[in-house]
Structure 1
Amino acid sequence: MKNLFISFKIVVVVSLLLVPYLQAQEKSDENKLSKPAFSFFLNRTGIHTGNLVRTAYSNYGNLGSRTLQEARMEWPVGSGVTYGFEFIFFVASEVITDNGDTIHIISERYSGSARDVPSPEDHNWGWEPLAGYFNDGEIIRGVDEDLNNNGILDPGEDLNNNGVLDHELINVVEFPAMSHLPETWPYDWPEGSFPGDPGTRRNKWNGLFGAFVRADQESYYLMDDRANDEFPYFPFPENPEPFLEGGRRGVGLEVEVRNFQWSNPLAEDILISIYQIKNVSDIPLNKNIVGMYVDADIGQGDSDDDASSFDIVDDITFQWDLDGLDLQGRQTGYFGFAFLQSPGLIDGIDNDGDGLIDESQEDGIDNDNDWRTFSDDNGNGIWDPEERLNDDTGSDGLVPFDPNYIGPDPDGTQGNGMHDLGEPNFEFTDNDEIDQIGLTSFFGGGTGGTFVPKDDEDYWQTKIQPGSFTTATSGFDIAFSYGSGFFGIPPGSSESFAIASLFGNDFDDILRNKRTMQRIYDADFNFVKPPLTPALTAIAGDHRIYLLWDDASENSRDPIYGNDFEMYKIYRSTDPFFNSIKTITDAFGNPILWEPIAQFDLENGLYGPHPIPLEGLGVSYDMGTDSGLRHSYIDTLLDNGRTYYYAVVGVDQGYDTDFFARGISAIDNLEPISPSETSKRIEVDILGNVLSLDINVAAIVPREPAAGNQPPVIESGIIHITGNATGSFLAEIADPEGVIDRTYKVFFVDDSTLEHLTTEFTIIDQATGEILLAGSSDLFGSSELEKQVVDGLKFSFDNDEVPEIKSVEWTGRSNLNVDINDSPQLNVPIDFEIRFFDEIADTSYAQFANFRIPVNFQVWDITENVKMEFQFTESDTSYENMISPGDVLTLIAKRQGFNVSTTWRLEFSITTGLELILPEGGDILLVTTYKPFSSEDVYEFSTVGWIAAKEQNESLLDNVFVVPDPYVGVNSLERKQSSALSGRGERRVDFVNLPMQCTIRIYTVSGKFVEVIDHNASQDNGREPWDLTSTDGLEVAYGVYFFHIDAPGIGQKVGRFAIIK
């Protein structure tokens, strides 16, 4: 009977937790509950990595973690310096019991030994997450990418970017819902959790601003206080039983929690948490306080010399380490919490001094009149697709060109000229439309775990009373509590609080961060939208890495600034968080921007330092050199065996007042703003193994090819078979995996005029005649051509488009100056010589014979090796029949009867003061020109793909060796040790120049077997690591070791190496 009763209680508890979800979605048989409720299987912990703050968070209101040491508010990410142990969000409420007693109930989820739980501990007196808001793998299944049920992976459906149509994404990491992890999303979001019709948010993010992901990384969950049945208070009279018997207790609070991170330099040190607190009972909650219990240990394990304080002007609490160093000697900074939004009581007072009294996010009014309808440029009274929507986005928050935008909202709210729920700057998306009271209490009088919110009444009376501020404290393992109150919540109403977790190098730094973030928050997170994220492909080579990326960023459209893409920056680092290259500092000496290894920008006149610096920081983006865009890069001179991390980010143009006049922007009269760039996210575990990467990030190791294998090459270079073009054609290997054995020919078409201007090009397979790439000469130098990859090759044409004079050179002693001007007719692409004689050698051409002049020179087209006709005008009869100062010589490109087409015109002069030296017999004036690709130009080249080892014998093993040898305590190729781990960290040597398949056996000098390693690799990989552990998993001792290589079909080799302490 007892077991039966427990089972009944389990079902009741689970049913209550699922109510908000089950009302919106039916369970399928495969999604039935399989875990007992007492394990609280809906509790999940995720990790935010969207900027420089890496922190764990739990879907029951906590930040930080007792167990995930590397995610205890680490800042900057990858530094190993942590600031948080556990931060507990609470709501304290004053209520009246049925007996008329006034009591105070605090809902929270402190998890330490002093936690507030019943005895026996069969549930929590605090927050519990609600079902339906993430893919829990039990009750709620994951997203089905086949949104239209046609069985085809259509554009926009591949949410996890794996190229496969997945009918159920699996939440492998078991995180709560996060914007960048579609596998954490539920199949459908609960009805009522978003404006608009049911089902319209499926396969989209359910964000504060609709389906639009406003931040670089967001998380979302709901929790309530139904399990808090410690006191005889019954907010739901119809369910008065204890929680485990199916009752719903607490005070009737439901909290929607959203965390936000931006990688923008203005917000990169901040995590914002928004708590929308709703009274779902029928009883008014007139007196409430929101706050946090903060147990912040500054520096990993260094909690004995911290100090804390507060500033009521900026509504901020903060903590720091007194000596500024953690136990490992690393520099520590300041950490704090600040209220960005904190509503108070409806009291008829303008508490925040903004000129508005008791403004509200729930009154259906745009109190501050900052909502903007669409731009009706043509004055027809309706929104047209070419017009800006501004805030009139519709209830889903998406506008054309946003990812996942599929058309206007089905409910007709897009572009309807009226403010609707879900649109920016209205109601719950208008952050400053609320009267703020800020920080009202601070208590710092104890160590961590000694004054947690366990005794609710004492905590209310002595720790969080508005107006109560204790003296700043310092000492061992200090903790503090802060609050904001009082505020009221009528039945069915909500109040939103926004709290920023702030980090900085010193107090001034976190204060700047808070004030900057306050302005951004009040403007509804009005960052310029960075470009879309480019997709990066990285390919390992020998001492090099090949990078290729797509043009997604160039297709971006900012809702305000339009098509504002400007450039790509390429970052390379040897640490996964790119901290080692964050070397560009602001005016205060704080690192703020990353140093790229390369950047490629539009040729539009925007280059050098951007005219608008980052707000308040005194540093500007480098906007490049007008280099032109590229979509590939080869990074060379790298260390084989070392892990490199690459990111390609898109950067927008920002805006300045003259950008429209300069043709940089197509939109006039916008607010000046500094550029923004796409984020670069990488997540690694405590051992340094990569867990996930953004599509624009790669972790890769350059390496030697397998023994005897030769990588692809362009064989013998590019041969200019025929033609006289002075430009160049280049082919380079961009993707070695795509290169095949093939011979290519390149042809051109010109305009058939005497100038031979290029019009088209064609690249073919010489053997088959197959056209591999063709197009107009307009593509030369364009990003469209640069993006093309054929057989792993990229092609570029440096065409001398218009014939121009290249050089003028005398042979002999003459000191005549020569000025060559374009004729009114043609610039003919020829090289020519004027050859001088001691007697009359030719006669100039004129229409009438008496104007024809015998001369002592001839003009030769040496490109075609033919003598040319010319016109000649003598200015000084004292030097008849020869060239002298003042004479003019005009070459004739073509003559038919009296119809003459002229080309280059040469004028001769002498520098004043020089004694004239005229040309003599045997002298030559050589003139060369730049020549476009013409129909006569043909290029040829051949490629050879991977070549397998020709000799399958033991000689292939001659170059196998171990690096480093000896191993002296450390290997520079080893990954950085996580601060959360104790001990030595990674130890490693590499066997290099291995064949594709072989077995490596390692022995001591006494012949004792140590380890066996099977190397099975592709032709491009001749390297295999060993972690210096034995087959039993134990670290090996220092000494000399022998290795035996056994390569089937090739042979064997024995070598040795040393490990030195």
Structure 2
Amino acid sequence: MRNTLFIFFILLATAVHAQDRIRSLAPRVTATEAQQTVADRAIGVINAGNFGHTITNYARFYASPALGPRAEYPIGSGTRYIQDWGLIIGMPGKNGAKPQAINSIFSRTGLNFLPETGYHNRDSVRIANSSLPFTWPKTTGWPVRDQQGNPLFVSNQDLYMVYGDSSNNPVHNLKVEQTNYAFSAEKYQDIIYFKFRITNRSNAVYDSVWVGHYIDVDVGNLPDGDPEYADDIINVDHQTQTLFFFDDGKSIETRDSTTSFVGLSVISTTPTNEGKTGLTDWHYLLYDDFFDDDQMIFNVLSSSPVLYNSADGSRYFHLAPDASSIRMDDETTIPSTGLDITAIMGTGPYTLAPGESIELTYALIGGRTRAQLLTSAAYARSLAAKNFNTPLPPDVPALSGFAGDGKNTLLWTDETESVPDRNTGRYDFQGYKLYRSVDLGKTWSVLGTFDRVDGIGPDSGIPYRFTDTNVSNGFWYHYALTAFDTDPDLAVDGEDVLESSRGTDPASDKQQVVLTPQAPPAGQVSGSLASFNQTTGSSQSLLVTPTSKPLSAPADYTVVITAGYKWTAGTYAGTPLISVDNQAAFLADSAFVVEWTGSNELTLRSGKVSSLDVKNYTPGQPVTLAGIFSLQLPVAGKTGDRLRVGPAVTVTSGPVTVLPTTLIVPARTLITSDGNQLLFSGGTQVNEQWIFTVGAASTDEGNLRAALKSIRVVPNPYVISNLFEPAYDKTLYSEPFRAIRFVNLPGEATIHIFTLDGTRVTTLHHDSGTSTYSWNLQNESRREIAPGIYLYQVRTRVGEIVGKFAVIK
């Protein structure tokens, strides 16, 4: 509706320590608990699928655009659909009291719900998110557990929070557990699940309770843009229990001038007192007809005959002429030209005795067409009916990289390849895809597909690095890594490949990185390998090529070889312990493969062993294979379980791990996160260790003097909207960061800007140790400069250079 900015302050209380969950049936929380709930406010961004959406942990399912997207669909498009949306619990009044509509949406009533303590890491100011371990409670870890007490994950991105009505007046002592699920598989990527469990913790019996949502979808509207919200239409598909919004399909505010269909589907509910499930009540109302009054909201939510028969009844009830009930509006009463409308959806009535709970599951659904939305709604119901048990794409490792002169190098590891599918338990990883974007993640192109060599697919092999040379110095490049599998169970559904999400935010999504290639500072000479020593062992099997990245100070590295493993097939759930019995035979080129040929029977295969070694083992007891190494396995395996065993390398620089533990493949170069290249021979053994030092970069003054003539301004002339300008965000009306860049600079320089008549505009001090300096086209009074021609003077310790640039607006 209106372009209202909802701003909430996340208060971090440093003097108040986390307390246990609220367990008392007392009608009010204590003052200490109330203070903690303010400190525990947090947001969560859901972006595993084709939605980018931000929620809070106090029943408000949107946040300020400054904090994250509001039902951005498709993800990365910049088109946002949710204006207002939140949970409502309707409580009837007793003994003459007015009914309550407990919610955190509307400004006058404020936040009736507040988060409870202990369900996320409050320092992160983020809701507990399965894909972001730093958001989990510090002492207890992931807060959702199975019956055995193990962490329970369901989707590619689970969010979990608990809140109560502690700030409502009166307090009913309700506890709401909310779980969100998002999947990156194509079939389910247009769905975000919202699952609620509402528990009565009081000593009172509550009857005639309604649960529902107030939802305001603005189709095709953007903040500060033209009003596109006045032509919205609502339809209800009763087969899938989906209420959805759409308009004429056109918008001058979206990037492609089209709009999508977005709605809320009621997936499942506890049966009401009347034995009904799903959506029992819904009504639309004009935005201008809404007023913030608990009694009105409750009466609309519960389809009150009193409101229907009142003078205001026609504002909130829009029934078909032959309607036999007042509980469902007729969407055909909405004109084809649309309205500025919202909706209230309800399910009830319920009776909640002390200690009793009800469960309700909804899904935010999107579709580029009506048919696509309804197909996704059907998929949402089908997946929920299977208790959300579906094969998941593989986890993706962190993507890292470093920029060079005219190139960007991307790096990743195999650390997640040995992690089984959380739902099926199989090791079904198949490969990776690497993407690149030159427009801040709005559109992506595939740089490469890397498939493991196993007789499935193209068998292209996985290099775990990629050097992108199709780049220009000074430009921003976004990269994203995904992992995909080949799952035989999906052939029934017509899909045989599941691919993980690209993510949306390089600041928080480990699979994304942003790199800006640039030349080294003028005159700079990169550090060389200052020292190299093998401190343990004598195989001399390591060759190190030092990083070309300039180091401001010498860096020391430690390389350690241990026994490592990687699961390559099966569903084995235990962690093996490996001890090497014959170090001279346990070499990197042995390619040891251990396969279960029975639940307690192991077969060892290797090019270094002339015949197969078959051994039975007892779980928890070590078993020696071919006299080379021993395995201790905590539980029995299954036929087809398989792992690779061999020497593995870990590289650290001080307290930082620059190469996590990785199995060594002879003749395959491994690259640390800061660019050192390591090449091992097949003779590498466990317990070997090396240390080496890469020296700091230095400056050759002769080269620096010669390089001064290469200093220049880009772009020149400067014209509004060039690719050097990163936008502040990804919306259509993003304001770019106005900038020109001085390139090919030395590590330190002073830059003076003058008008043609010699008036000084500003002085810039460059001391970042890079070859580039960005200037925001503002003078020393922070005002944008006028169009025209300007002079620049770059002063260095060995000389200066003068040039010109033009600004065209």
Q: Same fold (TM over 0.5)?
A: yes
Structure number with the higher strand fraction is 2
Instruction: Assess, with a 3 A threshold, how the Cα gap between structure 1 residues 673 and 284 changes in structure 2: closer, same or farther.
Output: farther
Match for 1:508 among 359, 362, 371?
A: 371
Report Cα offsets for 1:243-267 as digits up to 9, x if no partner: xxxxxx3444221112222222222
Q: What TM-score does the superposition give when structure 1 sets the normalisation length?
A: 0.54
Give the aligned partner of residue 995 of structure 1. Answer: 746
With over 3 angstroms needed to count, the CA separation of the structure-2 counterparts of 1:954 and 1:308, relative to structure 1, is same
- Choose the corresponding residue for 1:471, options 320, 331, 337: 331
Flag the 1:783–1:945 CA change in 2: closer, same or farther, 3 A. Answer: farther
Equivalent residues of 2:120, 2:137 under 8 A apart: yes
Q: For 1:480 and 1:710, locate their aligned partners in 2 and report how far apart those are by CA, in whole Å.
A: 65
Structure 1 equivalent of residue 127 of structure 2: 176
**CA–CA separation in structure 1 for the residues paired with 2:396 and 2:207:** 47
Among residues 125, 144, 151, which one is paired with 1:211 in the alignment?
151
Does residue 568 (structure 1) correspond to residue 432 (structure 2)? The answer is: yes
**Mapping 1:612-1011, distance limit 5 Å:** 625-655=458-488, 674-683=496-505, 692-709=507-524, 736-737=548-549, 776=589, 783=665, 785-786=667-668, 788-789=670-671, 792-793=676-677, 948-949=699-700, 951=702, 954-976=705-727, 978=729, 984-1011=735-762
1:293 to 211, 214, 219: 214
8 Å contact 1:536–1:648 — kept in the other structure?
Answer: yes
Q: How far 1:732 sits from its partner (Å)?
A: 11
The whole-number CA distance in structure 2 between the counterparts of 1:67 and 1:541 is 35
Structure 2: any 5+ residue segments left out of the alignment?
A: 1-14, 25-29, 309-315, 318-324, 530-541, 555-585, 593-606, 608-662, 683-693
Secondary structure of residue in 2 paired with 1:91? strand
Q: Return closer, same or farther for 1:784/1:440 CA change in 2, 3 Å cut-off.
A: farther
In 2: Cα distance, 1:972 partner to 1:513 partner: 37
- Counterpart CA distance in 1 for 2:454 and 2:193 is 37
> Which of the residues 433, 439, 450 maps onto 1:600?
450
- Work out the CA distance in 1 between the residues paired with 2:249 and 2:522: 54
Residue 1016 in structure 1 maps to residue 767 in structure 2: yes
CA distance in 2, matches of 1:639, 1:207: 49
- 1:155-174 matches, within 5 Å, as 170-171=123-124, 174=125
Q: Give, in whole Å, the separation in 2 of the partners of 1:569 and 1:331.
A: 29
Q: Confirm whether residue 485 of structure 1 aligns to residue 374 of structure 2.
A: no
Partner of 2:281: 441
Q: Deviations over 1:343-377 (max 9, x none)?
A: 22366x6x6xxxxxxxxxxxxxxxxxxxxxxxxxx
Q: Contact (CA 8 Å) 1:1003, 1:1009: kept in 2 or not? A: yes
Q: For 2:342 and 2:667, how far apart are their aligned partners in 1?
A: 61
Residue matched to 2:137 = 186
How is 1:108-119 mapped onto 2 (pairs within 5 angstroms)? Answer: 108-112=103-107, 115=108, 117=109
One-letter amino acid of the structure 2 residue matched with residue 786 of structure 1: R
Map of 2:787 onto structure 1: 1038
Name the structure 1 match of 2:387: 524
Please state if 1:53 is matched with 2:4.
no
Q: Check if 1:257 corresponds to 2:178.
A: yes
Equivalent residue of 1:650, what SS? strand
Per the alignment, do residues 70 and 777 of structure 1 end up closer, same or farther by CA in structure 2, a change over 3 Å counting?
closer
Report the CA distance between 1:628 and its aligned residue: 1.7
DSSP-derived class of the 1:203 partner: coil
Match of 1:1051 among 795, 799, 804: 799
Bigger Cα displacement from structure 2, 312-321 vs 999-1008: 999-1008
Note closer, same or farther for the CA distance 1:80–1:778 as it changes in structure 2 (3 Å cut): closer
Contact kept, 8 Å, 1:65 with 1:84, in 2: the verdict is no
8 Å CA contact retained: 2:53, 2:69? yes
Contact 2:48 2:184 in 1 (8 A): yes
Displacement of 1:972 in angstroms is: 2.1
CA RMSD of aligned residues (A): 4.1
Is 1:313 aligned to 2:239, yes or no? Answer: yes
Deviations 1:954-994 (A, max 9, x none): 33211000111111223222224636586742222111111
For residue 319 of structure 1, report the CA deviation from its aligned partner.
0.6
CA distance in 2, matches of 1:339, 1:321: 22
Q: CA deviation at 1:292?
A: 0.9
Distance 1:1052 1:319, change over 3 A: same
Q: Structure 1 449/987 Cα, relative in aligned 2: closer, same or farther at 3 Å?
A: farther
Distance 1:732 1:440, change over 3 A: farther
**Counterpart position of 1:417:** none
Equivalent positions of 1:192-271 (< 5 A) are 202-206=140-144, 211-229=151-169, 249-271=170-192
- Could you say what secondary structure the match of 1:693 adopts? coil
Aligned pair 1:1060/2:799, yes or no?
no
Q: Deviations over 1:721-780 (max 9, x none)?
A: xxxxxxxxx999795349999xxxxxxxxxxxxxxxxxxxxxxxxxxxxxxx99548799
- Give 2:101's aligned residue: 106
Task: Give the aligned residue type for 2:120.
Answer: F
Alignment CA distance shift 1:699-1:733 (3 Å):
farther
TM-aligned CA deviation for residue 540 of structure 1:
0.3
SS at match of 2:801: strand
1:151-186 deviation per Cα after TM superposition (whole angstroms, max 9, x unaligned): xxxxxxxxxxxxxxxxxxx32xx2333334444433
Q: Equivalent residue of 1:277, what SS?
A: strand
The alignment partner of 1:1012 has SS state of strand
User: What is the rounded CA distance, in whole Å, between the counterparts of 1:180 and 1:960 in structure 2?
Assistant: 44
Partner of residue 89, structure 1: 87
Deviation at 1:673, TM superposition (A): 5.9
Residue 338 in structure 1 maps to residue 265 in structure 2: yes
Cα pair distance change 1:176/1:449, threshold 3 Å: farther
**2:73–2:81: 8 Å Cα contact kept in structure 1?**
yes
User: How has the CA–CA distance of structure 1 residues 561 and 259 changed in structure 2, closer, same or farther, with 3 Å as cutoff?
Assistant: closer
Q: Give the Cα separation in 2 of the matches to 1:449 and 1:777.
A: 76
CA contact (8 A) 1:326 1:332 kept: no
Partner of 1:327: 253
Shift of 1:712: 8.8
Q: CA deviation at 1:638?
A: 0.6
Stretches of structure 1 lacking an aligned partner (at least 5 in a row): 1-14, 25-31, 118-122, 137-169, 189-201, 230-248, 352-436, 582-594, 608-624, 659-669, 684-689, 715-729, 742-772, 799-942
Give the whole-Å Cα distance in 1 for the aligned partners of 2:238 and 2:136.
39
- The share of aligned pairs that are identical, in percent, is 24
Distance in 1, Cα, partners of 2:493 & 2:260: 34
Deviation at 1:39, TM superposition (A): 11
Counterpart of 1:337, as a letter, is L
Q: Report if aligned partners of 2:664, 2:680 keep a CA contact under 8 Å in 1.
A: no
Shift of 1:290: 1.6
Letter in 2 for 1:274: K
Counterpart of 1:604, as a letter, is D
2:115 counterpart (100, 106, 129): 129
Give the 3 Å change call, closer, same or farther, for CA 18–794 of structure 1 in structure 2: closer
> SS of the counterpart of 1:518?
helix
Cα shift at 1:480: 1.4
The one-letter code sitting in structure 1 at the alignment partner of 2:137 is: P
Q: What is the alpha-carbon distance in structure 2 between the residues aligned to residue 87 and residue 958 of structure 1?
A: 59
Separation in 2, partners of 1:738, 1:641: 17
Partner Cα separation in structure 1 for residue 229 and residue 152 of structure 2:
41
**For residues 605 and 17 of structure 1, do their structure 2 counterparts lie closer, same or farther at Cα, with a shift above 3 Å needed?**
closer
TM-score calculated relative to the size of structure 2? 0.70
| TM-aligned CA distance change 1:542 to 1:449, over 3 Å | farther
Moved more, 209-218 or 337-346: 209-218
Q: Within 2, Cα distance between the matches of 1:648 and 1:226?
A: 43
Where do residues 370-409 of structure 1 align in structure 2 (5 Å cutoff)? Answer: none
